[in-house]
Amino acid sequence: MQRAPHKNQESHQMKTVSEIVRLGPVIPVLAFDSVEQGEHVSRALHAGGVKVLEITLRTAAGIAAIERASQLADDIVVGVGTITKPEHCAQAKKAGAQFGVSPGLTKDMHKAAQDAGLPLLPGVMTPSDIIAAMELGYEIVKFFPAQQAGGIPMLQAFHGPFPNLKICPTGGITAETAPSFLAQPNVVCVGGSWLTPKAALAAQNWEEVTRLARAASELAPHK
């Protein structure tokens, strides 16, 4: 894979959240033990057709892994996940992140994302969360933790009062359940960690990661 000349060139121009969530049906949620592991996994996922990565800040390698992954290919879109503090937005943007994902939303986090120029996919779990996000101008949200918070029946319940809202459910979704989530009219894509099973990462079985990525990329077309 050719390394992109520079992450700020035309190929890495800013995309909106609406554009990003439509680049593929599954956004892998990633946590890396090291920057090197992150590079191997990111390459393997890209080889399987996955172009959008959510690299979380759940490990110390997160920021450096974002910087490395964002330079691997012209068409990779790297986001920062598990944003829980406003200062995470500027840190991730400086490292090359093109969007942010949070498990929840506050006004301070919203402002920090705007100030950093980082498109944000905010997390919601309840109707009140959704209304608060919509008041701040969000039309696409992350439903988290999706399975634990009601799964598909909850998504169906949301669709009535929020018919125009687009949702990326994340949390507890598997290769087996992903198609049912993607079939919902308000689901634009899903987030998941099943593309990087712990056993495959421990064995450095990057071919298995590519296989799972290819299968995920071939799921039902995104809306």
Q: Which residues are catalytic?
A: 54, 142
Q: How far apart are CA 10 and CA 13, in angstroms?
A: 5
The CA angle 29-34-40, to the nearest 5 degrees, is: 70
Amino acid symbol at 34: S
Q: How far apart are CA 42 and CA 206, in angstroms?
A: 10
Neighbours of 103 (CB within 10 A): 18
Residues 38, 30: contact at Cβ < 8 Å?
A: yes
The CA angle 147-150-156, to the nearest 5 degrees, is: 110
Q: Give all strands of the β-sheet with 120-121 in edge-to-edge order.
A: 120-121, 99-101, 77-81, 52-56, 26-30, 190-192
